[in-house]
A and B are shown apart, each in its own frame.
Chain A
Amino acid sequence: MGEDTDTRKINHSFLRDHSYVTEADIISTVEFNHTGELLATGDKGGRVVIFQREPESKNAPHSQGEYDVYSTFQSHEPEFDYLKSLEIEEKINKIKWLPQQNAAHSLLSTNDKTIKLWKITERDKRPEGYNLKDEEGKLKDLSTVTSLQVPVLKPMDLMVEVSPRRIFANGHTYHINSISVNSDCETYMSADDLRINLWHLAITDRSFNIVDIKPANMEDLTEVITASEFHPHHCNLFVYSSSKGSLRLCDMRAAALCDKHSKLFEEPEDPSNRSFFSEIISSVSDVKFSHSGRYMLTRDYLTVKVWDLNMEARPIETYQVHDYLRSKLCSLYENDCIFDKFECAWNGSDSVIMTGAYNNFFRMFDRNTKRDVTLEASRESSKPRAVLKPRRVCVGGKRRRDDISVDSLDFTKKILHTAWHPAENIIAIAATNNLYIFQDKYSQRTHQALYGGLCTHHLIHPHSHLIKRIL
């Protein structure tokens, strides 16, 4: 039985230098909750780690609002589909927080096939003074009980309890790539390569199929769903993106099965840039509504684009993430990097957009000033409290001292997952197995552009539960 063990894991376990990464620790998703107080990460090993922001205290001004580990739990386990003789990976593809409705926090986490609703509660009191049990819980000798007392709640060390409340299984034939909670706080959707299902949060044995692009003949399959999201304010609207670079806005009021889109957003192809890879690099890897609900942000292999919901013909803004890779597409196709799915993010005021790239670089674009910056998430370049230095990739011509040439980029160091605090200039960057949290040096409360600089907040190793406070 052990003969055919997963070769990926075998390869990694023989490496001994400290830079080797356990496959299970690779972070696969990052998500702030609606207030930004909590930050959840999921990894390839099926674990979820939640960080909580410490309240600012006057006693320790330097540790204003740092994120500490709040809870860790195993969300998904590897499964084996005996019918198909295939493994189902436990990797957490997406985490989405539910809006908080009481003292407890809830989130949805999903792997390729199953979505789970987790409830996170705190316990900081416990009853003491039982009549029949002693402090350790052992039954008392009744003859020693001479009087009765009323048990009282006494404070205890904070305990965070996580329990699975719902398991939404068997809804998907293909691999789930997105989940999105509706603004009605009662329903959510899950999307796989060919179908999108609508669920009620309280009902696990039934889901409604709202989009189905599976062709009658699988031979005719040329397009798949790559991402989807509910509109932040209109509970009847959602968008889904495709591998051909199109976006479809659907209205659930129009029909039960939203196969006909209300709006189709598609940019006509640039004939001068046409190549065999044109379609692949146009495939949208992520789509995000702006907080205002007026715009959509999409990421394809080389660009991020801002779309206005009122204009279907083309995006209103296009930003080049790493256009220098355009001449390397064949190599990137060969090593499969061309299929990497980068995510994108808006800041709280929708004025700055962010996305990851290779070599542990991530990019930010200010929509107002049209300035952009490339930063690096790495231990070497992140000294404590130091401002991150902008990086530059040189493509020939004049080369400055700290520039990196395209050929020296490390394509194994990719930043696929990034998240932005909903209100403040705090960002979370997942670089393989490390989580970086950066904070705007100058302002924490306002929505200024980030050119004051980002400084390293702290570096977190989720899998070893070590928070390296870089002080």
Chain B
Amino acid sequence: MFARGLKRKCVGHEEDVEGALAGLKTVSSYSLQRQSLLDMSLVKLQLCHMLVEPNLCRSVLIANTVRQIQEEMTQDGTWRAVAPQAAERAPLDHLVSTEILCRAAWGQEGAHPAPGLGDGHTQGPVSDLCPVTSAQAPRHLQSSAWEMDGPRENRGSFHKSLDQIFETLETKNPSCMEELFSDVDSPYYDLDTVLTGMMGGARPGPCEGLEGLAPATPGPSSSCKSDLGELDHVVEILVET
């Protein structure tokens, strides 16, 4: 009886295991596909044509796809599983750096039409926002994480990267770009120079106007937070809320 039970159990167990394995395979292959779609989409968002403005419709559609995947992964609970371990820190940084690159390129969108054309949008406060976002970037890199928001950093950072992509569509930052290009001979982007400028600690921050906020040390999160608070204050003043 014991043997029979055992056999049955074994058979049942095997079937269960097989079933579970098959199930796992389906689930994991779906997750893999979904993850690769997410990666592909993020790459698409970040690969910006340097010389011509990227297609807004395409970018919006890709961003919506990314959001969809993110939402589903959050519901699954698999989003949290993608926590940046020490090993995976590098890819995140890479993500950050290329996203910043994209941001710098995209920051050119959003210039307003000539005044008096029935379009009453003002761009003053918005254009001043750019130095804020660009200066934040090197600081983030220095502290090597988007860890401002604490435990929600993954979702937050991800959200932030998407949001920042769209924020930059709004910002017009001629002064920023001048600073960025000040050391570059050619009038066009030099990818490596920009990347070096953003990543390297040796070079000063791109916007000298905010030198006071430039990263000095990889300080504890508290100093970053106070800087962030200061930035918020600055932003508040700028947008006159």
Seen from chain A, the residues whose Cβ lies within 8 Å of a Cβ on chain B are: 1, 3-4, 6, 81, 83-87, 89, 112, 170-175, 193-195, 197, 205-209, 217-224, 226, 243, 276-277, 279-280, 283, 330, 333-334, 336, 339
Give every chain A residue within 8 A of B177 (Cβ-Cβ): 85
Q: Which B residue's beta carbon lies closest to that of A277?
A: B65
Q: Are A279 and B118 interface neighbours, CB within 8 A?
A: no
Q: Are B118 and A207 interface neighbours, CB within 8 A?
A: yes
Distance in Å: Cβ of A79 to nearest Cβ of chain B: 11
Give every chain B residue within 8 A of A6 (Cβ-Cβ): 51
Q: Are B117 and A171 interface neighbours, CB within 8 A?
A: yes
Q: Quick one: given A3-B188, A85-B177, are A219 and B56 in contact (CB under 8 Å)?
A: no
Q: Are B58 and A339 interface neighbours, CB within 8 A?
A: yes
Distance in Å: Cβ of A287 to nearest Cβ of chain B: 14
Q: Are B57 and A83 interface neighbours, CB within 8 A?
A: no
Q: Are B60 and A243 interface neighbours, CB within 8 A?
A: yes
Q: Is B241 an interface residue (CB 8 A)?
A: no
Q: What would be 20 A-B contacts, judged by CB atoms less than 8 Å apart?
A: A83-B108, A84-B109, A86-B51, A170-B114, A170-B117, A173-B109, A193-B56, A194-B56, A195-B119, A205-B117, A206-B116, A209-B118, A217-B166, A218-B169, A221-B166, A243-B60, A243-B61, A279-B61, A280-B65, A283-B57
Q: Are A208 and B172 interface neighbours, CB within 8 A?
A: no
Give bound CA distance, A189 to B116, whole Å. 18
Q: Are A85 and B166 interface neighbours, CB within 8 A?
A: no
Q: Which 10 A-B pairs have the closest CB atoms?
A: A84-B108, A4-B188, A170-B114, A219-B163, A218-B166, A218-B170, A193-B56, A219-B166, A339-B58, A208-B118
Q: Which A residue's beta carbon lies closest to that of B58?
A: A339
* CB-CB contacts below 8 Å: B151-173 with A: 162-163, 166-167, 169-170, 172
Give bound CA distance, A269 to B133, whole Å. 38
Q: Are B113 and A84 interface neighbours, CB within 8 A?
A: no
* CB-CB contacts below 8 Å: B103-125 with A: 108-114, 116-119
Among A170, A217, A339, the residue within 8 A (CB) of B55 is A339
Give bound CA distance, A220 to B44, whole Å. 19
**How does the 8 Å CB contact mask read for B23-42 relative to A, with 1 for contact and 0 for none?**
00000000001100100100
Q: Are A222 and B60 interface neighbours, CB within 8 A?
A: yes
Interface size for B (C-beta < 8 A) is 45
Q: Which B residue's beta carbon lies closest to that of A214?
A: B121
Give every chain B residue within 8 A of A217 (Cβ-Cβ): 166
Q: Are B110 and A276 interface neighbours, CB within 8 A?
A: no
Q: Quick one: given A209-B119, A219-B166, are A339 and B112 in contact (CB under 8 Å)?
A: no
Q: Are B167 and A206 interface neighbours, CB within 8 A?
A: no
Q: Quick one: given A173-B110, A280-B65, are A86 and B186 in contact (CB under 8 Å)?
A: no
Distance in Å: Cβ of B184 to nearest Cβ of chain A: 11
Q: Is B174 an interface residue (CB 8 A)?
A: yes
Give bound CA distance, A215 to B96, whole Å. 26
Give bound CA distance, A41 to B160, whole Å. 43
Distance in Å: Cβ of A119 to nearest Cβ of chain B: 24
Q: Is B91 an interface residue (CB 8 A)?
A: no
Q: Are B53 and A175 interface neighbours, CB within 8 A?
A: yes
Q: Are B113 and A172 interface neighbours, CB within 8 A?
A: yes
Give bound CA distance, A129 to B164, whole Å. 71
Distance in Å: Cβ of B157 to nearest Cβ of chain A: 14
Give every chain B residue within 8 A of A243 (Cβ-Cβ): 57, 60-61
Give every chain B residue within 8 A of A226 (Cβ-Cβ): 57
Distance in Å: Cβ of A114 to nearest Cβ of chain B: 11
Q: Is B52 an interface residue (CB 8 A)?
A: yes
Q: Quick one: given A1-B187, A243-B57, A279-B65, are A207 and B170 in contact (CB under 8 Å)?
A: no
Distance in Å: Cβ of B178 to nearest Cβ of chain A: 10
Q: Which A residue's beta carbon lies closest to that of B61?
A: A280
Give every chain A residue within 8 A of B53 (Cβ-Cβ): 84, 86, 112, 175
Q: Quick one: given A84-B109, A276-B69, A279-B65, are A3 and B186 in contact (CB under 8 Å)?
A: yes
Among B50, B117, B162, the residue within 8 A (CB) of A206 is B117
Distance in Å: Cβ of A187 to nearest Cβ of chain B: 13
Give every chain B residue within 8 A of A174 (Cβ-Cβ): 56
Q: Are B119 and A85 interface neighbours, CB within 8 A?
A: no
Give bound CA distance, A334 to B33, whole Å. 13
Give every chain A residue within 8 A of B55 (Cβ-Cβ): 175, 339
Q: Which A residue's beta carbon lies closest to that of B159?
A: A219
* A-B contact sample (19 more), CB < 8 A, given A219-B163, A276-B65: A4-B50, A83-B108, A83-B111, A83-B172, A83-B174, A84-B109, A84-B172, A86-B108, A86-B109, A172-B113, A174-B56, A193-B57, A205-B116, A206-B117, A218-B169, A276-B68, A279-B65, A283-B57, A336-B58
Q: Are B113 and A86 interface neighbours, CB within 8 A?
A: no
Distance in Å: Cβ of A190 to nearest Cβ of chain B: 12
**How does the 8 Å CB contact mask read for B161-205 relative to A, with 1 for contact and 0 for none?**
011001101101010010000000011111000000000000000
Q: Are A221 and B60 interface neighbours, CB within 8 A?
A: yes
* CB-CB contacts below 8 Å: B78-102 with A: none
Give every chain B residue within 8 A of A218 (Cβ-Cβ): 110, 166-167, 169-170
Q: Are A173 and B57 interface neighbours, CB within 8 A?
A: no
Give every chain B residue within 8 A of A277 (Cβ-Cβ): 65
Give bound CA distance, A87 to B189, whole Å. 12
Give bound CA distance, A333 to B172, whole Å. 30
Give every chain A residue within 8 A of B64 (Cβ-Cβ): 222, 279
Distance in Å: Cβ of B121 to nearest Cβ of chain A: 8
Residue in B44, B51, B163 with the greatest tally of chain A CB atoms within 10 Å: B51
Give bound CA distance, A385 to B182, whole Å. 63
Give every chain A residue within 8 A of B69 (Cβ-Cβ): 276
Q: Which A residue's beta carbon lies closest to that of B50?
A: A4
Give bound CA distance, A84 to B53, whole Å. 9
Give every chain A residue within 8 A of B188 (Cβ-Cβ): 3-4, 85
Q: Are B51 and A87 interface neighbours, CB within 8 A?
A: yes
Give every chain B residue within 8 A of A336 (Cβ-Cβ): 44, 58
Give every chain B residue within 8 A of A339 (Cβ-Cβ): 55, 57-58, 61
Give every chain A residue within 8 A of B163 (Cβ-Cβ): 219
Distance in Å: Cβ of A426 to nearest Cβ of chain B: 32
Distance in Å: Cβ of A368 to nearest Cβ of chain B: 34
